[in-house]
Amino acid sequence: NAGVTQTPKFQVLKTGQSMTLQCAQDMNHEYMSWYRQDPGMGLRLIHYSVGAGITDQGEVPNGYNVSRSTTEDFPLRLLSAAPSQTSVYFCASSPGQGAAGGANVLTFGAGSRLTVL
């Protein structure tokens, strides 16, 4: 059982380039989300999804796009990379409403470290 898989683990971009961070989960979780982690700022929510075809913005959505065409996958797209997007990105999933263990118990991926020059 792989859990939440993120790729790539490391990426260096130039300002203005675009890229996609991939996220896949194999736990049949209903909810998925993307967070960014910056020093002293904790984890901040970028976008989230409550099911296939449904996405919404979190606290810091500007400059990012998401889609959820399947339950398993939740890619994060950087449209035109900026140095302010240098960060570590974490994808997470949680079971959803009605789950016995708790709707919002998050399982995180290992993270993707992005540097924008």
Partner 1 sequence: GENVEQHPSTLSVQEGDSAVIKCTYSDSASNYFPWYKQELGKGPQLIIDIRSNVGEKKDQRIAVTLNKTAKHFSLHITETQPEDSAVYFCAPHSEGGTSYGKLTFGQGTILTVHP
Residues forming contacts to partner 1 in the complex (CB under 8 A) are 4, 31-33, 35, 40-45, 48, 50, 56, 58-59, 90, 92-94, 96, 102-106, 108-111
CB of 14 to partner 1, least distance (A): 25
Least separation in angstroms between CB 17 and partner 1: 25
How far, in whole angstroms, is CA 94 from its chain's centroid? 12
* 116 three-state secondary structure: strand
Q: By C-beta, is 17 or 61 nearer to partner 1? A: 61
Specify the amino acid at residue 114: L
Residues 6+ apart with CB under 8 A from 87: 36, 37, 38, 114
Please identify, using beta-carbon distances, which residue of 18 and 38 lies nearer to partner 1: 38
